[in-house]
Amino acid sequence: MKVLVTGGSGRLGTAVVDGLLASGHEVVSVDRRAPDRHRGQWFAADLTVADEARWALAQVRPDAVVHLAAIAVPFSRPEPEILRVNAALAHHVCAAALDAGVRGVVVASSPTVVGYGAPAGWVPSYLPIDEAHPVRPWHAYGLSKLVAEQVVRMFTAQAGDRMRLSAVRPCYVIGADEWAGAPTQQGHTVRERLDDPALAAGSLFNYVDARDAADLVALLLSAADDLPNGETFFAGAADALAREPLAELLPRFHPGTAGAAAALVGDAPAFSTAQAERLLGWKPRRTWRTELR
């Protein structure tokens, strides 16, 4: 396929472009920032402008689109800007894809839609959290990603089987350079997050290797016709980013979670990827125990 990847210069975007190219797809990345590699497959565009999104899709004429472009870190910009930019990106890219006759679209969401870490308190309905768990975002980033999921459902309703869409919720993405000691997106190294549980507690110790998340994205494209249209999938590692069991850690940092956390045995994570395994045969292959250097 010819695949257009928005946000292809980012942490996850780089891994997605690498993975699709390695699988033999023709890949074009669109981003406002130039990538570190594959510059021959990249051009710049501001996809928050509807006409520019349509122009980008018309230039490439892809078979499929992977939409990753976003303000990717909560509170990294003013709240109204995060909501406006991320919601506009999701809408404009999906609308342009439909106009261009694109067959398959994958849109990046986030586990933050669940609402963990809310200042007023948060207790999960159950653990591990799956795609059916209630959502209650408490900041603009989480809300913008929930809007992106609703955009997927809106265009599913509009297009029917003319366009196959899915949403993916990647956990805290860790790239190859971060396993080697580079700072993660919040400024700490992976080892620091392991050494001080408080650093990863806010995100319920979730994480995923960028290459594993990229593999799931590729599967979502290749199996699009066989999946329920508009479905959502978690992409997470098979364990938690913690040296202690979450049954002990979560109640320490999130009061009221002890009952639900008791269901997490050993190094089990707080988020379930059973749906991706059941519908796609996807399993994460990398953990901090195999990758940290």
pLDDT one-digit tens code per residue, 58-74: 999 999 999 999 999 99
132-182 per-position pLDDT tens digit: 999 999 999 999 999 999 999 999 999 999 999 999 999 999 999 999 999
Tokens 């999960």 -> residue: 124
pLDDT at position 58 = 96
Decide if 59 contacts 37 (C-beta within 8 A). Answer: no
Q: How far apart are CA 69 and CA 9, in angstroms?
A: 9
Which amino acid is located at 168 in the chain?
A: V
Q: Is the pLDDT of residue 19 over 90?
A: yes
**Fold (topology level) of 2-175+207-238+272-285:** Rossmann fold (3.40.50)
Residue identified by tokens 């591990």 is 128
User: Taking 90 as the threshold, does the pLDDT of residue 40 lie above it?
Assistant: no
pLDDT of the residue at 53: 98
Mean pLDDT, residues 241-263 taken together: 97
**Do residues 266 and 243 touch, judged by C-beta distance below 8 A?**
no
Phi, psi of 92 (to 5 degrees): -65, -40
231, pLDDT greater than 90: yes
Domain boundaries, the chain: 2-175+207-238+272-285
pLDDT at 92: 98
Q: What is the pTM of this model?
A: 0.97
Q: List residues with catalytic annotation.
A: 141
Quickly state the pLDDT bin for 36 (edges 50, 70, 90): confident
Q: In what order do the strands lie in the sheet with 26-30?
A: 42-43, 26-30, 2-6, 64-67, 104-108, 164-170, 231-235
Cα dihedral value 196, 200, 204, 208, nearest 10 = -120
Give the mean pLDDT of 69-95: 97
Q: Write the Ramachandran bin of 3: left for phi over 0, alpha for psi from -120 to 50, otherwise beta.
A: beta
From CA 70, how far away is CA 224, in angstroms rounded?
23
- Give all strands (DSSP E) within the chain, no chain letters: 2-6, 26-30, 42-43, 64-67, 104-108, 164-170, 173-174, 208-209, 231-235
